[in-house]
Amino acid sequence: MLEKIQVKKSDAGDALKGVDCLLMIGGEKSGFDVSLKGVTVEPSACWQAAQREKDPVKDFMIAGADKPVAIHCLPLKKQGETDYQRIGAAAGTRLRAKPYGSVVLALGDDLEIDKDAVAALLRGLIIAAEPKLSYKKDDKAAKPDDIELTVLHGNDALSFTKKQLKPVLETARAVLIARTLTAMPANHLGPEEFKDYCLGLEDDTLGVRVLDRKELTKQGFRGLLAVAQGSEQPAYVVELFDKRAKGKPDVSLIGKGVCFDSGGLSLKPATSMPEMNMDMAGAATVVGAMWLLTRAAKPVGYVGSIGLVENMPSGTAYRPGDVLEMRSGKTVEILNTDAEGRLVLADVLDWSAKEHEPKVLIDFATLTGAIIIGLGHDDAGLFSNSDGLSEALLSAAKAADEGMWRLPLHDSHRKAIESQVADIKQTGGRASGSATAATFLGEFVGDRPWAHLDIAGVAFTDKDTVYSPSGATGWGVMMLERLVETLSAGKVGVDKD
């Protein structure tokens, strides 16, 4: 991760000494007279040339101080905090493309920028600069760890101390924790390794509790264990909590952690299987977020519960036609072993609701392919029984610049999962596949306000996004950081409607 960062007022004449990349944001009107005092570069000429060529993000090799400098002019259309996060990401994407060592980012004096905006800019920059997880022996990709980034500006009030930079670096690290876990191949990150990774995160404030097979059996996780029984890999539920928090939590975060989803006996086609190592992205979001939230000065009343399994076909696998009695006691008619996520989540939701008695439940899951058909890779699908909670989530997502779109839960969806032989059916047919899956989950949350986020489209993409290269994104961590602010501000009630 890019973390060698200084943010300071430019006062020396040797600002560009040894620098091999200069990123300019703003400065089209004012130039960089203050920011780069004494340097013989004429940035406004670069802007003009850039505009002439209709490519304001073209590289310019010019003679700067003591060697040629690659100059990137990055235009900023609007000046909201999200826009700064995005322009930072545009800068980060540039750094991901080429292995620069020493980088100056100059902020023009014509920017209306405050410290929060600089923090947003850096957040976007760091997470976008991170390359794809790679197992190449001879990797020529940029190494953000080696980059020395100096942000220069002309305003005393914008400088950051090391301590002030810490929260920015922590947010970025949390996103990258989620992203890396999601990207890891299933032979590197099975339920066992994922559980060990969580234990490795434990510190003074982050507590980790593991429920192993024996405990899961005792506690009646029959749905989760049915999914796991086709695999040689063990199953775990891992809980993450703030050691300083007292009393019942405000929010339970639940994550789907299917470390590999082959589909089980209802085997997936060969072409859709290779990326199914990402089917634990919901759990990764919960882990990244809990790591981040428990580092704040004040204890956070959030508890995370993730269900870690592998879905495989074998002689011991569960079958279509089976009837399961879930942890809650409800019976479920199994129709398709590839609809495994809802079974795992149902038991973890039931557990988390009863064990912790939180005010609110929120689950994260790469639950359905249908959500990708409906919303593409831009927005997570939000389903909820609470308008207040939905409002809080949507505004947190907006502030974090992470896409989210609410979809309805109707009685017709409940009808679609009525079964002739059990309390409910596992799947509701092709129509509204994401909504019937959400409705299934809703059967296991009791009367609590609850929200389900189907992140199959946003957790993993086939194209580069604003913030990340193609593949895993780490979606949801920044949204959850904002949610703590939104909910604790008490602006929204989170009652069940």
CB of 293 to ligand BES, least distance (A): 26
User: Does 338 contact Mn ion by CB under 5 A?
Assistant: yes
Q: Using the rule CB under 5 A, which residue among 28, 261, 350, 443 binds Mn ion?
A: 261
Beta bridge partners of 405: 381
Cα distance between residue 379 and residue 417, in whole Å: 25
Given 8, 9, 209, 268, the catalytic residue: 268
Structure-block tokens of residue 376? 């593409």
Q: Does 443 bind Mn ion (CB under 5 A)?
A: no
Stretch that binds Zn ion, among 54-62, 240-248, 261-269, 396-404 (CB under 5 A): 261-269
87 binds, among Mn ion, Zn ion, ligand BES, none (CB under 5 to 8 A by kind): none
Place of tokens 């390794």: 193
338 binds ligand BES (CB under 6 A): yes
Active site residue 295: no
- Shortest distance, position 449 Cβ to Zn ion, whole Å: 25
Binding footprint of Mn ion, residue count (CB under 5 A): 2
Which listed option, Mn ion, Zn ion, ligand BES, none, makes contact with residue 234 (CB within 5 to 8 Å by class)? none
Number of residues lying near ligand BES (CB under 6 A) = 14
Candidates 279, 347, 401, 443: give the one binding Zn ion (CB under 5 A). 279
256's torsion region: left (phi>0), alpha (psi -120 to 50) or beta?
beta
**Can you name the residues that pair with 23 across neighbouring β-strands?**
72, 105
Q: Which of 50, 32, 11, 49 is nearest to 111 (CA)?
A: 32
- Decide if residue 333 touches ligand BES (CB under 6 A): no
DSSP 3-state assignment of 270? helix
Dist CA 209 CA 211 (whole Å) = 7
Pick from 416, 426, 220, 454: nearest CA to 343: 426
Identify whether the C-beta of residue 39 lies closer than 8 Å to the C-beta of residue 16.
yes
Taking CA atoms, 187 is separated from 191, 228, 310, 341, in Å, by 10, 16, 11, 20
Which span sits near Mn ion by CB under 5 A: 30-38, 253-261, 342-350, 480-488?
253-261
Q: Using CB under 5 A, which of the segments 133-141, 224-232, 255-263, 447-455 binds Zn ion?
A: 255-263
Nearest 5 degrees, angle CA 279-CA 281-CA 284?
135
- Asked if 179 is an active-site residue, the reply is no
**Counting contacts by CB under 6 A, is residue 305 touching ligand BES?**
no
Q: Given candidates 88, 92, 190, 341, which one binds Zn ion under the rule CB under 5 A?
A: 341
Residue 352: helix, strand or coil by DSSP? helix
454 binds Mn ion per the rule CB under 5 A: no
- Give the footprint of Mn ion on this chain (CB under 5 A): 261, 338
- Give the footprint of ligand BES on this chain (CB under 6 A): 261, 279, 336, 338-341, 366, 368-370, 427, 433, 456
Active site residues: 268, 342
